Amino acid sequence: MAELLALVDRGKPYPLAVAGPADLRCERAGSVDARIVVTDPAYSLYCLDHDNRRALFVRTDTEPAHAPFYFLAQYEHATGAVALSYDELHALETPEPRGVFLHSTGRCGSTLVAAALAGPGGMVGVSEPDALTQLVTLSPGWPSASCASWPAAACGCCRGDAPW
């Protein structure tokens, strides 16, 4: 069972700071089936809480994928959260991938390309999901003996049709 969290307060050091678990002050509100983060499109992966070996998903009242900065829309529109241990995250069953994962460097025109490819039945572009930024900063010192490997963690954060 995943941990259901009630949002009490927000507090980022500055708006474009990389998403982290300290951004959202939450209180435990109960337990919930971990599959909620896959079945309820209102949830999206916000960040990794590596010190506690868990992933934090936020519930938002809007679709953050349509915002210029995904992580900032998640932060500003969060109404609650769910915390899953890394083991729970990797154990989630998700649909087979139905798309293409493209990664780009910043300031390269990717927003224009995403807008051109979007449309009825087209691509959904997610601009700067910070969980992936966190993976990059964690990867050099990833403790392989204490948790899943770097490639498995990346796959856990970029699953098939999952809303994150």
For position 129, what pLDDT does the model report?
75
Cβ atoms of 127 and 67 closer than 8 Å:
yes
pLDDT computed for residue 163 by the predictor: 42
What is the pLDDT at residue 76? 95
pLDDT tens series, the chain, 164 aa = 999 999 999 999 999 898 999 999 999 999 999 999 989 999 999 999 988 999 999 999 998 887 888 899 999 999 999 999 988 988 888 776 666 666 676 678 877 777 777 776 667 777 767 787 777 777 665 554 444 455 555 555 665 444 44
Please report the pLDDT score of residue 162 as a whole number. 46
Who's near 117: CB < 8 A, 6+ residues apart?
123, 125
What pLDDT was estimated at residue 132?
75
Question: What pLDDT is attached to residue 145?
Answer: 41
